[in-house]
Structure formats: structure tokens, C-alpha cells
Structure 1
Amino acid sequence: MTGHTADALRDFTRRYLESWEQQRGHGPESEALYGVPSPCIVSSGDAVVRWRPQPFTLAKNLDAVGRALEIRINEQVVALYTSQFAGDMDAEFMGRPIALLQTWSEADFTRVQENLIGHLVMQRRLKQTPTLFVATTASELEIIAVDNLTGAVVLEKLGTSIRQPLAGDLPQFLAALRPAI
């Protein structure tokens, strides 16, 4: 499943980059990432940074997350976060605006792992099955996550057990995404 997820991410990333080129005449840019160091930076100025994905240079695992909670992390999520360094990518899933989360740099990868640990600790306290977030939504109360046990992608209402199935697995979810520029 790791290879399928990495392939699906590469395909979505290609479509995302092509959309930027077609609509704006250049690669992705971000105001939010301006001034934040990353190997992805192509240029910066006027309070924006232009970027291109770069190869992931760290060990391809989320072992720190697994060790902290004594669980095995779903390989799809490992592949999503360790295939490349990139900025978060705006997309639509079945008409719903989302931001596909990525790691921007080595330092950001550490932050993502810490946030995953915090999310899983909260779920453990609430006696919920573990999920790992992979995208944000327009609502601060909802995230898109992978069920760590089944691998299904769900829309999760934070702090509750409400989870709406979205896709059978992460590659299927990524294939259904449409770039939003």
C-alpha cells in the first residue's frame, strides 16, 4: 500500500503543479510559508514564496509517533508524510474544499509528528479508535483522517466519535482530489 500511496501522491502533485502553471503561469506560491526555511523554496519576494516539491531526505517512517503511543502507524500515512517535502496543497474532494497536508522541511516533519501524537493522545483519552489527520477542511472542527486500523479515509468531527466515510483508502482519496488554485 505504501507504493500505491506514494504513486497517488506523485500523481496529485503533478496535477497540482500543472494547474498552477496553467492558471497562473508559474509554480505554487504561498504567503503563509514566506520566510519559513525549506528545501522547496524556488524564490521569495513580495511576501510570498514560490516552491516546488523536493525529495524527502529523512528516514521514511513515523516511528516516533508509533513509539509514543505504542501502536503501529498505518503505512499509507507514513507514505503520505515521507514521500516528499512540499507545501500544503489546496484541493477539492467531492466539492468540499480541503488542504492536503505535507511536510515543508525537516523541522516541519518534527512538528507534524508532535501534532499527530497530540491528536492520538486526545483520542485515547476519549476512548476513540485512532485516526491520523491528512487534510484540513474549512471548519476548524472537522479534519480528514485515515483510520489507523482499517486504512479508510474519513471526515472526522474533532472531539466526537462522528466519522463519515470518504474513501476506502488513501490512494483512492488522492486520486479523487481536484487541485484548487
Structure 2
Amino acid sequence: MIDETSQALRDFSQRYCDLWQQKSGHAPASQELYGIPSPCVMATDEDEVWWQPRPFTLAPNLDAVERALDIRLQPAVTAFYTSQFAGDMTGTLDGRPLSLVQVWSEDDFIRVQENLIGHLVMKRRLKQSPTLFIATTDSELEVISVCNVSGEVILEQLGTKKRQVIASSIENLLIALQPLIINCSN
């Protein structure tokens, strides 16, 4: 499961980068990440950074999250967050736009883990089964998460029990996800 998830993420990342290259003539670009150090940075141009995914250089685990909540995480979630450093990548699944949450740098990895802990604490307080977010949507009230019990990828409405299965696994989500370029500059 870990290797399959990592490979599916690498494959999607390649499709995403290829689309950027095709549409803009350069690597993926981000204004939001401009000025934030990362091993992904290839170049900067006025007010944006051009980036490429890079190998993850830290220990490939989410032990801090597991220890904080005394929980065992789905191995696919660990693989998703510890396979590479990259900027967030947008795509569509069945016409639904989403943005994969990625780890930009070693410092960002700490922030991501803290946010995962906060999400799990919220789920526990609401007496809901644990989920771990992997993507955002256009709505601030909905996220794409992985059910930590089943491993299914779900669209969940924050603060409610409303959830919809959208993929049987992270791997299958990444295989079906179509890259989407937003704000592409030439």
C-alpha cells in the first residue's frame, strides 16, 4: 500500500508538471509560495516561484501525529505525506476541483503534522471516526480526507457527520485525478 501510494503520487505529480510545462513553457509556478524556502524551488520570477517535486529527506513517518493521539495511521496517509516535497497540486475528480495538500519543506512538515493533529482532535471531540485530510476543495466547509478505519477517500463536511466516499484508496484517487492548472502564466 505504501509503495503503491507513493508511486501513484509520483505519477500524478509528473502529469501535473508535464501539463504546466505544456501550458506555460515552465515548471509549476506559485505566488503563494514565493519567498518561502524549499528544496523544490527551481527559480523565482518577479512574484512567483517555479518548483519541482523533490525527494522527501526526513524520516518517512508521522510518528508525532500517532503519539499525540495514541492512534495508528493508515500507511497510505503516511506514504502520501512522506514521499516528496512539493507545492500543492490542483486536479479534478469527476468534475470536482480539489487541491492536494503537499509538504513544501522540512518546516512545513511540522505545520502539516500539527494541522493533522488538530483535525483529529476535532474529530475526537465530535465523537466521529478519525479522518486525515489530504486535499482541500473550493468550499471552506468541505475537505477530502482518508477514513483512518477503512482507508477510503471521502469528501467530508467539517463539523458534521456528512461524508461521501469518492475513492476506495488514495492510490485510486491519484490514478483517477486529472491535473488542473489554475492561474497559469506564460
Which category of TM-score, normalised to the shorter sequence, fits these structures?
Answer: over 0.9
**Matched AA of 2:159:** G
**Matched AA of 1:164:** Q
The alpha carbon displacement at 1:46 in A equals 1.1
**Matched AA of 2:91:** A
Query: 1:19-54 CA deviation, whole Å, 9 max, x = no partner?
Result: 011111111000000011101000113110000111
Rounded to whole Å, the distance in 2 between the matches of 1:91 and 1:167 is 14
Which residue of 2 is the match for residue 66 of structure 1? 66
**Number of positions where the alignment pairs a residue of Structure 1 with one of Structure 2:** 181
The alpha carbon displacement at 1:111 in A equals 0.1
Rounded to whole Å, the distance in 1 between the matches of 2:8 and 2:55 is 16
Rounded to whole Å, the distance in 2 between the matches of 1:27 and 1:149 is 37
Which residue of 2 is the match for residue 51 of structure 1? 51
Structure 1: gaps of 5 or more residues = none
Where has structure 1 moved over 2 Å in runs of 4 or more?
Answer: none
**Matched AA of 1:141:** L
The alpha carbon displacement at 1:96 in A equals 0.6
Rounded to whole Å, the distance in 2 between the matches of 1:88 and 1:177 is 14
- Counting only pairs closer than 5 Å after superposition, residues 29-40 of structure 1 correspond to structure 2 as 29-40=29-40
Rounded to whole Å, the distance in 2 between the matches of 1:53 and 1:168 is 25
Structure 2: gaps of 5 or more residues = 182-186
Identity of aligned residues (%): 59
TM-score normalised over the length of structure 2: 0.96
Which residue of 1 is the match for residue 138 of structure 2? 138
- Counting only pairs closer than 5 Å after superposition, residues 22-171 of structure 1 correspond to structure 2 as 22-171=22-171
Rounded to whole Å, the distance in 1 between the matches of 2:7 and 2:34 is 28
TM-score normalised over the length of structure 1: 0.99
3-state SS of the aligned residue for 2:116?
helix
Query: 1:124-180 CA deviation, whole Å, 9 max, x = no partner?
Result: 000000000000000000000000010000000000111101011110000010000
Rounded to whole Å, the distance in 2 between the matches of 1:47 and 1:150 is 42
Which residue of 1 is the match for residue 180 of structure 2? 180
Rounded to whole Å, the distance in 2 between the matches of 1:21 and 1:106 is 26
3-state SS of the aligned residue for 2:118?
helix
Rounded to whole Å, the distance in 2 between the matches of 1:53 and 1:9 is 10
**Matched AA of 1:15:** R
Give the root-mean-square deviation of aligned CA atoms.
Answer: 0.5
3-state SS of the aligned residue for 2:33?
coil
3-state SS of the aligned residue for 1:171?
helix
